[in-house]
Structure 1
């Protein structure tokens, strides 16, 4: 077994590999760019080597830098993680020339299956069912349109060397095909150093199913069940689960056996993923094979009990798999949510900055429920514009799918992140969506269920009394603390004010306390609303706690609390609302106060995220029609097209290509 390995990656996957290496007694070496000098993976590793500037093309993507770091530290093997160099056949070749082991598949397998175009040709030759498409070189946007017309719209334009949703576009007509071709090529070149793209038929109402395979260097290959990754936004996975609610035992066996046959054909000798698109009738078609560890591998680990990183290391060291196909069993259900640094209320645009607060839910097992959080950040970490915006992967496991989803919802409620925008409100909304809970999925789920984007979830009838009760419980404790200050008169124990009004958004809700005491734990009997039956409220919350946890009637509750002037912002189940607790007299007077109108920004194009201006498509004085492109801004390796929302005339252009802009910076002004 290896004594020291180097991780040629960063962030959560580097931390993930280090954890398993520690468990195996293997020393680790981290590499880092200037932007990652203080990163968690650098602190976790036993040794660390600086490899260059922040841009991946000048650091993490340079094979020579990684090889030199191995030679400098004496690392015997390299784990590539995912992304970066993980699917570059030249990387293991360069390592082998220096006597360093690659913890991944052999170069032949990477070449045969890692390239999406070549893998489809290989699969066709092996009589594997594939999606209709054109696998040759596409010379131009016009050529792409010609191919798309032959295949029939809709089509998918994909980067040959792509992954993670980058370099991927769906086109429903000629105009979208031309634009998608250009954007896919640009993103592919920026992210992978390879601008080749291909076009294939887009299956309507599809489901994304993938099979985890694992092979050794002795000819043994097994499959570890399936994962469903149909909940996607902009072709990037958001929620994954194992197993799939669509797949039955017979389909699982058929997909698994086909995946194993494909892997054996290239002597596959590591962890890999064979991806399929399936229709609602369980017909499936080969898409591609990812010759690396997948981001969503934790759900497979939780349902199989197999540490995939450990198996990769053991296989790379020449060990034979210690189990066979008959030994693989799937137990329970696992669900994973990807937590991204992005603003769901502004069309999911990237958000960068420092994590002022980062308090994930407690990991571990409690009864039949397990919570796991794979992350590469801590409180105080910086979310950079140079890399993928994923902050963490929150994974829960339970006996059934609904129990795993409920555990995921509870864990998301307890996940505190401040300092940047993040997608936890959106994830929480997804996990409470009836269609998701029923397993009626497709890759178009988010587009279909959130056609106008994601907005703040309104306080519904079920949440309103719970949040009002929690708000009053917090105010009682706060008042009790104030009355205990020196020089203030303190009422007799148990003598609490009885009548309150809670403002939630624009609703004024009367709350009556029947009896109770302000202690830790607090206990109250109160009624929420006119004539409502009393419920018992119990909580150990204290002023300053970021989480209010307690019981309201029969309901267990976890609510995030952020102080605001004269109240608190409460976050619960995707709801974010300011709660103000006041006396009836104050509530009556406040209801008469006029509300301040927000500023009018309709005459400006504002930069929706921190990013780099790629192009400005208009000039001053130009008349523009609704829908026309105004500018393209790149952030976190994704190009975002900014379009005119109405007919207008450009008065002034305030930015130029190459400018680095902050969020809400003015790009141009209109007449």
Structure 2
């Protein structure tokens, strides 16, 4: 058995591997860059070795630096996690030459299946259905356009060594194919050190379903069910679940057996994933690629199978046989995973960086109702989110006996997850959990684009939700008023009294209410005769409280902003004002302050580096024309003109770093 394991990775996955290694009694070694000196995985490991500057191409993907850390610590095995060097055959071969165990598949399997072009050729030769496309390497943008024209739009431009949504673009016309080729090539080179690109037909209305495989060094290979990964943005998964709500048992078996056959064809061992695109209309599936590593979304498979995949990888790497067969694999219940990203859903999911001024995940483990909450993370309260790495903060998972119960458990867990200091996608995740289309399982990889055509702007509370939030705000206001009375006591010689009648305004709703308190609790009576019974232990200073509104638990995030109360719940973010009737009457007379006019400015939508400026001062630009490219968290973002105009001033140069809303250029 392995005695000391070095984790050649960072963040959440490094922490995940360390937990299992410690459970198995294996000592652990972390590696870290300048940016990760105080990272959680460094604190968790038994030893830690500094390997260089923040950029991953100067630290985490420099093979010699990882080898030096191995020599320095005497580690006898390496787990690569996902991303970075996890599918790098040169790295795996270098470990073998050092006599160090690679906790992953054999080199030949990485070479054959880790390369998307080669894997598609092998799959086709093995009789596996593959997506139509050009499997050869593409020399330049002109050839990319020519091939795309031949295949027929839309096409998917992909990095051969890619993963995690990096180096992928969908092109709907020749211009997008040209731009997408160059951006994919740049991202691939920066993320993987390999800029080879291929193109395939983009299947419309597809579902992204993948099969988890596990094999040992004795020829045994099993499939552990599937994962539905269709909800994606920018080709990167956001919400995953296991099993898929789409597959029937016959299709599951066919996909599983095909995945196993493919793995056996290359002598595969360790954990791996065979990904398929499934045509939601015709129920046909096509081989997409094989990931020769542990997947980000592996926890949902663990929750429905009861297996620890990291433990299995370590045991396989140590030469052990699998202790179970295919007939022993049982899928129990349903699991959902929500990826919490440092990105602003209100700005088209652009990356966000900064300090986590508050990071309080929900309580993990078995809940009172029998559901399970699991949170895999690599950050902590007060930690820093860097611009150099993937923006994922945590993977929140829930398990329940059935799908809707698992979704409801996720909704509650998201309600109770506090993150402050950076932009994040918690409101978006909460919103998806409430959508009828998601709850019914009618999802495709175009889900986000179809359901949020104009971008995510938050959830507008309907009448019922507005009343719940109004009742909660009224109770909060009552607590504040009672506290003020307890402090000040009197006004002159007159005892100060707290009124019972208030007017609550939020998100276009206005509710005259009356609050009354008895031994049985607090009741909020609305002017139209409706009532809400509400209780909660909120006290000034608390930023989260679970209120009980008419018997329902409502976990709300709370911030006081002067006389206003900010409440966040289920994707809603509302500013509530609780006023006396007279003040509410006067408030209607107040003018509305208009936001500043930025229509003639191009502002940086995220913190990042300006990698290129595509225009010059005095140029006339057309709507949709590329203006500048910003790189952040290993992703390139091309900024385009919204309308026809003339460039008046360019405020930055290529290579400069900008904060959110930093000025890039002005227009006449």
User: TM-score surpassing 0.5?
Assistant: yes
Query: Mean alpha-carbon deviation: is it higher for 579-588 or for 8-17?
Result: 579-588
Which deviates further from its counterpart, 592-601 or 393-402?
592-601
Tell me the residue number matched to 2:534: 537
Matched residue of 1:345: which SS? helix
Matches within 5 A, 1:517-666: 523-528=521-526, 530-666=527-663
> Residues 229-277 of structure 1, C-alpha deviation per residue, up to 9 Å, x if partnerless?
0001111101000000000110010000011111111111100000000
Where does residue 498 of structure 1 map in the other structure?
A: 500
Q: In structure 2, how many angstroms separate the alpha carbons of the residues matched to 1:459 and 1:629?
A: 37
3-state SS, counterpart of residue 332 of structure 2: coil
Find the counterpart in structure 2 of residue 46 from structure 1: 46
Structure-to-structure mapping, 1:69-84, within 5 angstroms = 69-84=69-84
Deviation of residue 628 (structure 1)?
0.8
State the match for 1:411 in structure 2.
Answer: 413
TM-score in terms of structure 1 length: 0.97
Aligned equivalent of 1:112: 112
> Are the counterparts in 2 of residues 496 and 516 from structure 1 also a CA contact under 8 Å?
no
Classify 1:490/1:516 alpha carbon distance in 2 versus 1 (closer, same or farther; 3 Å). farther
Aligned residues: 665
1:227 corresponds in structure 2 to 227
In structure 2, how many angstroms separate the alpha carbons of the residues matched to 1:474 and 1:620? 54
Tell me the alpha carbon deviations over residues 391-422 of structure 1, each in whole angstroms, 9 at most, x when there is no partner. 01110111111111111111111111111000
RMSD: 1.6
For 1:400 and 1:217, locate their aligned partners in 2 and report how far apart those are by CA, in whole Å: 35
Q: Is the CA contact (8 Å cut-off) linking 2:154 and 2:201 kept in structure 1?
A: yes
Is the CA contact (8 Å cut-off) linking 1:456 and 1:575 kept in structure 2?
A: yes
Structure 2 unaligned residues grouped into runs of 5+: none
SS in 2 for 1:122: helix
Q: 1:483, 1:490 within 8 Å by CA — same for their partners in 2?
A: no
Give matches, 1:403-482, under 5 Å.
403-482=405-484
What do residues 90-132 of structure 1 show as CA deviations (whole Å, max 9, x unaligned)?
A: 1111111111100000101100100000001111111111111
Match of 1:299 in 2: 300
What is the distance in 1 between the residues matched to 2:454 and 2:303?
35
SS of the residue 1:462 aligns to = helix
Q: 2:378 aligns with which of 370, 376, 379?
A: 376
SS in structure 1 at match of 2:456? coil
Name the SS of the counterpart of 2:611 in structure 1.
strand
Q: Which residue of 2 aligns with 1:93?
A: 93
Query: 2:471–2:532: 8 Å Cα contact kept in structure 1?
Result: no
Residue in 1 that maps onto 2:360: 359
Please state whether the residue corresponding to 2:217 is helix, strand or coil.
coil
Task: Name the CA distance, whole Å, in 2 between partners of 1:555 and 1:489.
Answer: 39
CA contact (8 A) 2:88 2:110 kept: yes
The Cα of 1:534 is off from its aligned counterpart by 2.5
TM-score, length-scaled by structure 2: 0.97
2: CA distance, partners of 1:298 / 1:147 = 39
Alignment of 1:275-286 (within 5 A): 275-280=275-280, 281-286=282-287
Q: Compute the displacement of 1:531 (Å).
A: 2.3
Matches of 2:523 and 2:649, distance apart in 1:
62
What is the deviation of 1:594?
1.1
Contact 2:536–2:546 (8 Å) recurs in 1: yes
User: Which residue, 392, 408, 428 being the options, matches 2:394?
Assistant: 392
Structure 2 CA distance for aligned equivalents of residues 412 and 490 of structure 1: 47
Corresponding residue number in structure 2 for 1:339:
340
Structure 1: gaps (5+ residues): none
Instruction: Output the CA distance in 2 between the equivalents of 1:669 and 1:489.
Output: 55
